[in-house]
Amino acid sequence: MFSDYMLSRGRKKTKKQEDREKELQQNQLGEYEQEPLLPVLADNIKLLQSEMGNSNDIVVRELALEGEGGFIKVAIIYVQGLVDEFRMNESIIQPMQSVPFQAGPDDPSRVQDELKNKIVAAGRVEEAKDWKKLFEGLFLGNALILLDGCNTALASSCVGGERRAVEEPKTETAIRGPREGFVEALRVNTALIRRKIRSPKLWMEQKTIGRETQTPVCIMYMKGLASEDTLQDLRDRLDAIDIDGILESSYIEELIADQKWTPFPTILNNERPDVIASNLLEGRIAILVDGTPFVLIVPTELNMFFQAAEDYYQRFDVATFLRLLRFFSYVLALVMPSVYVAVVGYHQEMIPTPLLLKLVAQREGVPFPVYLEAFIMELVFEILREAVVRMPTIVGNAISIVGGMVIGQSVVEAGIVSPPVVIVVAFTAITSFVSPTYNLGIAARLLRFLLLIAASTLGFYGISIVLLLLLLHLSNLRSLGMPYMKPFSPMFRKDWKDTLLRAPMWMMRERPQAIAVDNLVRADMDTKELEGQEPVQ
């Protein structure tokens, strides 16, 4: 019936679009349209079951309730596993059965009002007026209450079922700092943020994205801190998404990114509520997607990828040192193999003579030129790494033994690869794990090969050409309209206190100028006064 409805909507469209639409209709499992429910209960149930292909996780519990002047036919429909059945019994079925209704079967809308206002003991009860709303409610874990003779349904919330509990985040652990991480349930996640920011200014907007998955997506921001332009831009982009399914926030990330052709992540994700809260307080916007613990933050800057949550929980001097170390390691991870190839292959004069002699002695008898050596070892390492990541831990150990023994030792002993290359590749591997965010590391993994090719063909000149291209590329990137290289370029010197450096808390009195609109003052305290205070004896 829905497809008929679809066809009846005549619109002027190009032939191509029409073909495409037809194709889509055939592929679609069911496009719920805003069509009202039928007046007869039995028809509604029949239609619903046939639309769902009689799937047997849909439970239809039919009841006949005592009312004024007769029995009222009621059906409670829910998806087994999405609903807390015990709670549903207590809050819906039991109250319904225990007291007779004041209205009768001849006036179903009054019965419905009575149900809604008096009988159902659930926190949230909504009226579903059409099939679209009805299905939405059903799959979000509501129990639907349908009445005979009434063409609307009640959706009463009693979400339940098995979900993961809040536990320590796996991707970013901190020695000091909160231990809780996001989970897959959207409501739990929003609550975790609400628990951090207890302010009425923390606003939330919900959308449903994904034609089939109907995934709830939530935008959270601090009203008055987040830029309205950016917000509107984000809303437009989210509204423009038309896809069958959103299974992870990475789908959203890819679909709303400013530039699609880049190895760099232009949207940060994190699974720590404290990180998200601190970003919200800076005036950024969080995007929460149901079904994943990874929350997106926009707009993102490159330097955010070098910041770990713990930087703010440790002393500022240590944090600054660690940040610089991370940045330095990232640069090393990017260029080290290529610099080695360039130096050994093209610019041997840069190596002090004793070291050069050592290197030459080591390379004695190695059958491959240095760039091939480096390339092979890099590739081998990437393969090893991928093998370990995808395997269960028990097998993973075996792989690392084989990798370490065979590749690390035997290859060198057999004289196929020289030891310095192994050292370089191994050290590069370690540096690439220093970055606190995984997806920035991936960019370095890819670019490393590009740099390696450039270094083996044109030496240092090749490296600098690729780095210049990279510089132009990075300068061109934007995240939700905001330049990616901020606050370095365009320069916001006041924001530098929290970039590669982490200034002491008492110095970070203002929010990043580049993000927060007005309301810049974060901490209003006179440090001079604090310093001048007499120490308490």
Partner 1 sequence: MNGSKKLNNQFIGASQLSKMLFLFALGTAGLMVPTFVVAIAKQDAWISMAIAGPLNYIVLLLYLALAERFPGLTLAQYAEKLLGTWLGKALTLVYVCFFLLLSALVLRNIVDFLGLSVLPGTPNWVIAFTFMLVIVYGAYLGIETIARSGELLFGWTVLVIFIIMLLLTNQFEPKNFEPFVYEGWTRPFKGLYPILGFPLGEFVVMSAFFPFVKQADVGKLRKHLKLAAMFVGIFSVGISVLLLGVLGVDETRRSPFSIFDMAKTINVEDVIVRVEVTVAIVWVSTVFMKLMMSFYGATLLAAQMLNLKSYRPLIVPFTFVVVPLSIAVYRNSAHAEYFAMQIWTPFSLTIGVAIPMLLLLFAFITGKRTARSKGDMPVKASYEAPNDSPSGGKAQQSGAGQAGGATPS
Which residues contact partner 1 by CB under 8 A?
A: 17, 20-21, 24, 31, 211, 227-230, 233, 236-237, 240-244, 255-260, 346-347, 349-350, 352, 458-465, 468-469, 471-476, 478, 480-483, 485-486, 488-491, 513-517
Nearer to partner 1, 24 or 402 (CB): 24
Nearer to partner 1, 120 or 463 (CB): 463
Please report how many Cα atoms fall inside a 13 Å half-sphere around the Cα of residue 64, on the Cβ side: 4
Nearer to partner 1, 21 or 85 (CB): 21
Nearer to partner 1, 38 or 241 (CB): 241
CA 298, CA 301: separation in Å to the nearest integer? 9
Count the Cβ atoms, other than its own, within 10 Å of residue 454. Answer: 22
Q: Please, what is the minimum distance in Å from the beta carbon of residue 528 to partner 1?
A: 29
- Residue closest to 271 by CA, chosen among 256, 289, 253: 289
CA 4, CA 377: separation in Å to the nearest integer? 61
Q: Please, what is the minimum distance in Å from the beta carbon of residue 406 to partner 1?
A: 35
Residue 81 Rama label (left phi>0; alpha psi -120 to 50; beta): left
Nearer to partner 1, 37 or 342 (CB): 342
Q: Please, what is the minimum distance in Å from the beta carbon of residue 15 to partner 1?
A: 13
Nearer to partner 1, 37 or 482 (CB): 482
Q: Please, what is the minimum distance in Å from the beta carbon of residue 260 to partner 1?
A: 7
User: 424 near 337, Cβ under 8 Å?
Assistant: yes
Write 530-535 long-range contacts (CB < 8 A, 24+).
530/506
Q: Please, what is the minimum distance in Å from the beta carbon of residue 382 to partner 1?
A: 26
Residue 152: both structure tokens together: 């609307």
Q: Please, what is the minimum distance in Å from the beta carbon of residue 400 to partner 1?
A: 35
Nearer to partner 1, 102 or 476 (CB): 476
CA 407, CA 403: separation in Å to the nearest integer? 5
Nearer to partner 1, 122 or 480 (CB): 480
Count the Cβ atoms, other than its own, within 10 Å of residue 57. Answer: 10
- Residue closest to 115 by CA, chosen among 97, 129, 139: 97
CA 217, CA 252: separation in Å to the nearest integer? 9
CA 181, CA 294: separation in Å to the nearest integer? 9
User: 309 near 297, Cβ under 8 Å?
Assistant: no
Q: Please, what is the minimum distance in Å from the beta carbon of residue 430 to partner 1?
A: 24
Q: Please, what is the minimum distance in Å from the beta carbon of residue 361 to partner 1?
A: 19
| Residue linked to tokens 């009621």 | 74
Residue 438: both structure tokens together: 């995984």
- Residue closest to 285 by CA, chosen among 327, 237, 240: 237
Q: Please, what is the minimum distance in Å from the beta carbon of residue 445 to partner 1?
A: 22
Nearer to partner 1, 183 or 268 (CB): 268
Nearer to partner 1, 43 or 229 (CB): 229
Q: Please, what is the minimum distance in Å from the beta carbon of residue 498 to partner 1?
A: 17
User: 222 near 283, Cβ under 8 Å?
Assistant: yes
User: 373 near 418, Cβ under 8 Å?
Assistant: yes
CA 86, CA 237: separation in Å to the nearest integer? 41
